[in-house]
Amino acid sequence: MALEILGVLLHRNASEITPADGGPSFDMQMIGQMARAFDDNGFDRVLILQNSFAPDPFAIAAHVSAITQRLAFMVAHRPGFIAPTMAARMFATLDHLSHGRAGVHVITGANDHELQCDGDFHTKEERYRRSAEYVQVMRAIWESDKPVDHAGDWYRFNSALSELKPVHGAIPVYWGGSSPLALEMGAQVADVYAIGGLKPLAQMRGTVSQIQQAWAQAGRSVRLQTSVRVILGDTEEQAWAAARDVVEALREKGLEQKRQIAGTGEAVSTAMRLDPKLSTTKGGSGRDELEAIAAGAELVDKRLWNGITRASVEFSTPMLPPALVGTADQVADAMMDYYRMGITGFLIRGFDLYGDIALHGRELIPALRQMAAQHDRVLQNA
Ligand SMILES: Cc1cc2nc3c(=O)[nH]c(=O)nc-3n(C[C@H](O)[C@H](O)[C@H](O)COP(=O)(O)O)c2cc1C
């Protein structure tokens, strides 16, 4: 099974606990430092987020591709704002600029009001159907040497063509969203399904089997990825002390956000708009599941801890899935329980975006790669 390690590249060094005055809001120097650190520390790919107010992820990816050697991209991209024929050419161009490192993460969007900021008034159901057709069109443009005509439910065009083809023949298509229609539509077009965060193993097994069923029904295979929050320490005690510090920082952050909203009625924090009506994640179907996790046992399985999930509910910060807390080896071992159920992509993130890259690269990623290789060898010899 091919393990893929991903990170998140933001346009500033920020996380859910960074104070509002924590450095420039668009930090070119930091983008370069982070990109090189990901490239040098064993990360395969980075997610670059998109929403209706943040800097453009496509331009950031193009810049980063020029200053890195091997780091690939998962560029979040919202269908519905440009023609899919144009998007196909943009991704083919990025793929060539980066020598085959482009990847598209199709974002259908959770919050109707937030999408309306860019003029999209469709419902989520309509958006998911449109996203599927959008990817079909992009694939047709990437694959065809001849001009393509198309008359679908959402798009109509004649003689569309991209002179550039993807370097490796195709560009990987990632897909997020946990509602039933997200699975049904994703199964028709996507290569990788991105699960938003960890959940208890028993629950994750259910999710994995739902995804696999959806893809099997569509007659396609799927690679599985999950986001993983980690809180590490040199010893287990240090890790738990760090976890408590994160909760304290979330409390502070919640208070800061309340003050900001009371003062201006609006604020932006770590790629989130704080006006609850415009929050990027509002309306996402994963929220109920996270609230149930927040209300459940504090520690489940080997070391899955819901302290940050509870704190994010209690202090009204952006909603956080539970984290793995422990030493790098302990956390890698816990991640292997997800790998064994078929999840091969791990989007790893702590709470110090830049500082954690080297830490994860030094200890966690090598440990995980070693354990995964060992697991694969045992499977091959069985
Ligand atoms: C790894 C990952 C990255 C995501 N990145 C973004 C993003 O950059 N912008 C955004 O608006 N939504 C992002 N999402 C959210 C989803 O793609 C989706 O729009 C949302 O979960 C709502 O879908 P649902 O209600 O079907 O769950 C991301 C989701 C995942 C799993």
* Domain extent listing, the chain: 4-230+326-381
176 close to ligand 1 (CB < 6 Angstrom): yes
Q: Which residue's entry shows tokens 């801890």?
A: 305
φ, ψ at 338 (rounded to 5°)? -80, -40
pLDDT given for residue 283 in this prediction: 81
pLDDT given for residue 210 in this prediction: 97
pLDDT given for residue 358 in this prediction: 98
pLDDT given for residue 222 in this prediction: 98
Nearest CA to ligand 1 atom 4: 176
Q: 4-230+326-381 is classed in which CATH architecture? A: Alpha-Beta Barrel (3.20)
Cα–Cα distance measured from residue 52 to residue 341, given in angstroms and rounded to the nearest whole number? 35
Task: Mark the ranges of the chain whose per-residue pLDDT is less than 70.
Answer: 22, 264-274, 276
pLDDT tens for each residue of 209-241: 999 999 999 999 999 999 999 999 999 999 999
The per-residue pLDDT of the chain, averaged, comes to 94
β-pairing verdict for 268-269 and 223-232: unpaired
For ligand 1, the distance from its centroid to the CA atom of residue 20, given in whole angstroms, is: 23
pLDDT tens for each residue of 143-187: 999 999 999 999 999 999 999 999 999 999 999 999 999 999 999
80 close to ligand 1 (CB < 6 Angstrom): no
Name residues whose C-beta falls within 8 Å of residue 110's C-beta, 6 or more positions apart in sequence. Answer: 124, 177, 280, 281, 282, 283, 284, 285
Test site for ligand 1: of 105, 116, 174, 192, most ligand atoms within 8 A of the Cβ: 105
Give CA torsion, residues 328, 31, 76, 214, to 10 deg.
-10
pLDDT given for residue 318 in this prediction: 83
CA 110 to ligand 1: nearest atom: 22
